[in-house]
């Protein structure tokens, strides 16, 4: 087995593809690689597994790439087979949820919350992918492919981060009885069209996502059979 934790889409891709061609099972948490190259990886798996018995097939697993602690990918692959998913909405970046919790619950400023997230290891040295919403966008694209079977250009997903949020925003949210979370949301219309965005959102206090605090992730899935 090969466990790929390098990240990126260049050398990591070479390692993953060579491992699969060599008959090695691969496990990765590389969301950038999966978001960009999953169709190519699946095509390669089909090629290398042709003629093999099920127990001998090469496997590619990527549960850790999107909210690994839930886990949501395995659920999407098994629990919704034959169902029709109409909406995905979730907190899919732990760093930003930690920061927003600190701003809401502890009254910290954006800079104070980012500094604490960095000290605790939740934020990278360059936190742009997290605070800009881009990490969540990559994860949302992967979930959309699993939910709807569609390939979406990541750049076409509207994306707004948390850098402009202030204490005042949370004060207003509290006055309205809720809080602010950065959510990844995707919906499929009755006509089959799919829309998606990543953005800070007002979340009412009685919504289950409002109570998800710290570096925790949570995803709500709405489908025809299960409803939620």
Q: What is the pLDDT of residues 215-228, one digit of tens each?
A: 999 999 999 987 76
Torsion of CA 21, 51, 146, 7, to 10 degrees: -10
Distance (Å, rounded) from C-alpha 73 to C-alpha 61? 10
Q: Do 35 and 154 form a contact (C-beta atoms < 8 A)?
A: yes
Active-site annotation holds for 13: no
Which residues of the chain register pLDDT less than 50? none
CA distances from 14 to 4, 62, 90 (A): 11, 16, 32
pLDDT at site 192:
87
* Predicted confidence (pLDDT) per residue in 89-113, tens digit: 999 999 999 999 999 999 999 999 9
> 146: how many CB neighbours lie within 10 A of its CB?
17
Active-site hit among 139, 167, 174, 193: 139
DSSP conformation class of 157:
S
């Amino acid at each position: 087995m090969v466990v790929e934790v390098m990240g990126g889409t260049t050398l990591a891709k070479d390692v993953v593809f060579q491992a699969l061609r060599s008959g090695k099972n691969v496990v990765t948490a590389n969301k950038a690689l999966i978001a960009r190259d999953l169709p190519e990886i699946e095509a390669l798996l089909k090629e290398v597994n042709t003629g093999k018995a099920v127990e001998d097939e090469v496997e590619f697993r990527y549960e850790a790439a999107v909210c690994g602690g839930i886990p949501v990918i395995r659920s999407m692959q098994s629990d919704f087979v034959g169902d029709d998913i109409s909406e995905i909405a979730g907190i899919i970046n732990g760093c930003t949820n930690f920061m927003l919790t600190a701003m809401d619950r502890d009254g910290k400023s954006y800079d104070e919350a980012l500094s604490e997230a960095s000290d605790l290891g939740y934020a990278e040295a360059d936190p742009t992918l997290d605070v800009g919403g881009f990490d969540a966008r990559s994860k949302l694209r992967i979930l959309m492919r699993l939910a709807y079977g569609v390939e979406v250009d990541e750049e076409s997903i509207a994306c707004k981060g948390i850098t402009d949020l202030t204490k005042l925003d949370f004060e207003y949210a509290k006055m309205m009885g809720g809080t602010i979370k950065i959510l990844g949301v995707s919906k499929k219309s009755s006509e089959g069209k799919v829309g998606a965005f990543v953005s800070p959102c007002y979340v009412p206090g009685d919504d289950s996502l409002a109570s998800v605090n710290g570096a925790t992730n949570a995803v709500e899935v709405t489908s025809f059979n299960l409803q939620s």
